Amino acid sequence: MPSYQILINEAYNAAKSKFGKNPFTFNELVNLVKSSPDFADISGKLGYLYNELLKDTRFLYVGNKNWVIKAFLTIPEINAYRNSLYDLKIDGNDVPADLNFNNSPADNDPNDEVSPE
């Protein structure tokens, strides 16, 4: 059985070539990976695969148990998925004030500053 990193890479490459821009479920992905002779017996690694799917930035969860490959999406499409999933109202250019790290020092409360030791 190939290594775990090879497993997630196989999942990515298989999903990219089979599903393209179309959403797919985890079960569809597992069945696709299992169709490869090198990965026919991944039953004991499904938890690992799902965990890696959550962490791998090449995949994007889009709700209703569906995933997509981010490489096929535009930034506005990614933002639309995220907005609908998390009920955000961000168009890609707007940054909520609490996430804006480009504030000048004058914008900060002096009580928040850390004094040098």
Q: Which helix (H) or strand (E) holds 60?
A: strand 59-63
Q: What is the pTM of this model?
A: 0.68
Average pLDDT rounded to a whole number, residues 70-77: 92
Average pLDDT rounded to a whole number, residues 7-18: 94
Specify the 3-state DSSP secondary structure of 44.
helix
pLDDT: which is higher, 57 or 107 = 57
Q: What is the pLDDT of residue 86?
A: 73
Q: Which helix (H) or strand (E) holds 8?
A: helix 4-19
Average pLDDT rounded to a whole number, residues 17-31: 94
CA distance 88 to 108: 25
pLDDT: which is higher, 93 or 45 = 45
pLDDT band at residue 24 under the 50/70/90 scheme: very high
**Structure-block tokens of residue 42:** 């991944």
pLDDT band at residue 2 under the 50/70/90 scheme: low
